[in-house]
Amino acid sequence: QKEVEQNSGPLSVPEGAIASLNCTYSDRGSQSFFWYRQYSGKSPELIMSIYSNGDKEDGRFTAQLNKASQYVSLLIRDSQPSDSATYLCAVKGNEKLTFGTGTRLTIIP
């Protein structure tokens, strides 16, 4: 079992709709959770962090964390073509930050 799992996609969402990205992790002791956005050929950019169960909202982005079920999700409301990118989930356990392989999101105009 991979430490951090994401559906690789591609996930296609119409412009203006809600995009939902999911991530599961294996280490129950994980403490910190992050979502990064990566455009093709560019470096990952931190867009959300979440540390406790529940929802955290920042603009059009909402991160959701459920430690009991060991999953993290990212919702993007009012999706824009500029949101087309690969989204990486990252989870910090005791010693290191582990990345998933990413979900490729395409927003269809």
Partner 1 sequence: EAQVTQNPRYLITVTGKKLTVTCSQNMNHEYMSWYRQDPGLGLRQIYYSMNVEVTDKGDVPEGYKVSRKEKRNFPLILESPSPNQTSLYFCASSFRQGSYGYTFGSGTRLTVV
Indicate whether 21 belongs to the interface with partner 1 (CB under 8 A).
no
Other beta carbons within 10 Å of 66: 12
Based on the shown chain and the rule CB under 8 A, indicate whether residue 31 belongs to the binding site for partner 1.
yes
Q: Considering the complex, what minimum distance in angstroms separates the CB of residue 11 from partner 1?
A: 17
Work out which of 13, 25, 34, 83 binds partner 1, going by CB under 8 A: 34
- CB 43 to partner 1: min, Å: 4
Contact (CB, 8 A) for 89 and 6: yes
Cβ proximity to partner 1, 73 vs 79, nearer residue: 73
CA distance 59 to 52: 19
15, 17, 32, 58: which one contacts partner 1 (CB under 8 A)? 32
How far is the C-alpha of 80 from the C-alpha of 13, rounded, in Å? 9
Site for partner 1 in 75-104 (CB under 8 A): 88, 90, 92, 95-97, 99-102
Binding flag, residue 58, partner 1 (CB under 8 A)? no
Instruction: Say if residue 30 is exposed, middle or buried (CB neighbours under 10 Å; 0-12, 13-18, 19+).
Output: buried
Give the span between the Cα atoms of 100 and 87, in whole angstroms.
Answer: 9
